[in-house]
Amino acid sequence: SQQGEEDPQALSIQEGENATMNCSYKTSINNLQWYRQNSGRGLVHLILIRSNEREKHSGRLRVTLDTSKKSSSLLITASRAADTASYFCATVSMNRDDKIIFGKGTRLHILP
Amino acid sequence: EADIYQTPRYLVIGTGKKITLECSQTMGHDKMYWYQQDPGMELHLIHYSYGVNSTEKGDLSSESTVSRIRTEHFPLTLESARPSHTSQYLCASSRGTAVNYGYTFGSGTRLTVV
């Protein structure tokens, strides 16, 4: 049962530009997480933002959360070729079932 | 580097064969999960375990079964593989509640049933 929905589905940008991906979800959440998946590999956990937080940074990553709009965004600054991957948002709901529900992902392609 | 290992990485087998996908982690995590990922990238939870001798079915109905006899080991078995089982299978583990922790994933097993 999908909770988060990423937008856009695919994104191509020039190396050095900033990449922004958005995620919308439906029900109240405890936290929201972003993951990266390189082609043919497993997912890598990038960042977790709690429902009472509005913004979080990790290196070149900036995540925002707007619980009133039920949306989040992931910004990657100064993109590099190695950032080419799929990015997933994932939510943990308030219903205490302690599971992470993943969206369908955004495919990001960094052009040289 | 994630300390969760999946074998094999790729597997091509004939219809009707029994197969076991292996997943092991060295982090001492109690919680482990199996996801099936379709070509459209969406992940579907098919099994999970919160500790030894504990297994539950996930949100997506699956003909596979799992076992958890040891903390570090969470194998997935298909008794009779069919072409509809062709997919990427991802194993994950967590050090605690999803309220506080994300998942660590293995590299996945790409299964093709011919």
Kindly write down the DSSP assignment for every residue of A79-103, as one continuous string: --GGG-EEEEEEEEETTS---EEE-
Considering only CB atoms, A43 lies closest to which of B48, B99, B105, namely B105
* Cβ-based burial of B67 (10 A; exposed 0-12, middle 13-18, buried ≥19): middle
Q: Rounded distance, CA A61 to CA A39, Å?
A: 20
Residue B1 has pLDDT above 60, yes or no: no
Which positions in chain B touch A90 (Cβ < 8 Å)? 102
Residue B75 has pLDDT above 60, yes or no: yes
Looking at this protein, which amino acid is placed at residue B107? S
Which positions in chain A touch B21 (Cβ < 8 Å)? none
Q: How confident is the model at residue A96 (pLDDT cuts 50, 70, 90)?
A: low
What average pLDDT is seen over chain A? 92
- Let me know how long chain A is: 112
Which positions in chain A touch B59 (Cβ < 8 Å)? 1
Judged by average pLDDT, the poorest of A1-5, A13-17, A41-45, B95-99 is A1-5
Residue B71 has pLDDT above 50, yes or no: yes
- Binding-face residues of A in 55-84 toward B, CB within 8 A: none
Give pLDDT tens digits for A40-83: 899 999 999 999 999 999 999 999 999 999 999 999 999 999 99
Q: How confident is the model at residue B2 (pLDDT cuts 50, 70, 90)?
A: low
Write the DSSP symbol of residue B83. Answer: G
